[in-house]
Amino acid sequence: MKINFINFKCFCIKNKIKKIFNSAVSHLNFDGFSVNLKLASKEEIRELNNKFRNLDKETDVLSFPNLNFVDKKIDTKTLSEELDQDTGLVSLGDIVICKDIAKEQAKEYGHSYKREICFLALHGLLHLIGYDHEIKEEEEEMMAKAESILKEHRVLR
C-alpha cells in the first residue's frame, strides 16, 4: 500500500502507520491501493466537516472514500476502472486527521500522541474500506478490528 503523507514530520509515526496499514490490508485481502493521509489544523478540519458533512464543528478524523464498498467487498470491475495508469494503484481515498484534537484526546485517554494518530489513521482507513459505526454492532466490529491491529503492532500506549 502506498501512503501519501501530507504535513507529517515524524518519521517514527509515518513508519508505524505504514506497518499498521499494510497489516490491515493484508488481513482484509486488499492489495494494490494508495491512500492520502493528511494532518490538519482545527480550522482546516472544521471547514472540511462543514463543506462535506454540513457540520460546522471540529472533529478528530474525516474519511473521503473513492470507492463504494458493500460488506467490505468491492467489484473488481470497479477497481479496473479506477486504476491509476501511472502508479498501477487504486486510490482508496483521503483521510484527514486533526493534529490538535489528536493531542487533546491522547492526553484525555492517557496514552501517547503517536498511539492516537495511529488509531485515528487506522479508523479512517477502516472507513475507506467499508467499515462504519452507525449502529452498535458495527461499532463493536470496527473497534475490535482496530484494537486487534494496534495490539499486533504494539501501539498500546
The pLDDT tens digits of the residues spanning 99-115 come to 999 999 999 999 999 99
Q: How many CB atoms lie within 10 A of CB 94?
A: 19
The domains of the chain are located at 2-152
Buried b (16+ CB within 10 A) or exposed e, 101-132: bbeebbeeeeeebbbbbbbbbbbbbbbbbbbe
Higher pLDDT, 95 or 151: 95
Domain boundaries 2-152, corresponding CATH code: 3.40.390.30
The pLDDT tens digits of the residues spanning 53-92 come to 999 999 999 999 988 776 656 655 666 677 778 888 888 8
